[in-house]
Amino acid sequence: MSRFRSLLQASLNATKKALTWNLEDLVPPSERYIFKFDSKEELNRWHLYSDSEYGGLSSASLEIKESSDGSNSTGIFSGNLSLDVDEGSKWNMSRSGFCGMRTKRFDGFIDLESYDTLALKLKGDGRCYISTIYTENWVNSPGQQEDNSWQAFVFVPKDNWYIAKIPLARYLPTWRGNVIDAQLEMNPSRIVGMSLAVNAQGGVPGSWSGPGDFRVEVDWIKALRAQS
């Protein structure tokens, strides 16, 4: 009888250990890298856009910067913001002076359901940038194929590395750059893309704005679980 009890206790202990291990295995880590700007291959996941596509005269570039000892690399998003418009443009532009870097559409989705914050490690120029998260469209109709977009301002202090932490709840639903006055919630499990952009006008108080050069250095973008 004592042997049976020993076997039963051993079996219960093993089951308890297995259940505990499985539970820990199911809990995602507290942070997750989404992008690390450490190679030219990483830049191939992004493309540039600007008002030049519509007759504006702004320009942008995205390149890799390697450290002097070769131990680390970062991405440099830079260019020039112009408020001018090409006189020969066929587009009736209502505004100019913007540039951005956007991911090429993912093969599938990024699932950030287990996280509540997006973090970006940046070194900038004192301008205010715009972080955008694109999610799968909630309207499945031929007349509206664009992804949903959610935007938040990111002030990037000049010349020093800065980790901007933006709660996902702070991202506001937008339509072509304008905030939508509607009660909508982001679905963080169906993220199809991200972007970082800059406008010549607007931004948070205290940030530098206006036409001219811009430059921001990007080390990484992570998802964080800031709240337990």
Are 221 and 164 in contact by the 8 Å Cβ rule? The answer is: no
The per-residue pLDDT for 91 is 67
| Residues 174, 151 contacting (CB under 8 angstroms) | yes
CB atoms within 10 A of CB 100: 20
pTM exceeding the 0.85 threshold for the entire prediction: no
Dmax over CA atoms of the chain, in Å, equals 96
Distances (CA, A) of 218 to 28, 37, 48, 70, 164: 25, 7, 15, 17, 11
pLDDT tens-digit map of 163-214: 999 999 999 998 776 788 777 889 999 999 999 999 998 888 888 899 999 9
Topology of the domain covering 30-224: Jelly Rolls (2.60.120)
Report the alpha-carbon distance of residue 163 to residue 57 in Å, rounded.
31
Annotated domain spans of the chain = 30-224
Dump pLDDT digits (tens) for 16-68.
444 444 444 456 689 999 999 998 889 999 999 999 988 899 999 999 998 76
What's CA 31's distance to the chain center, in Å?
Answer: 14
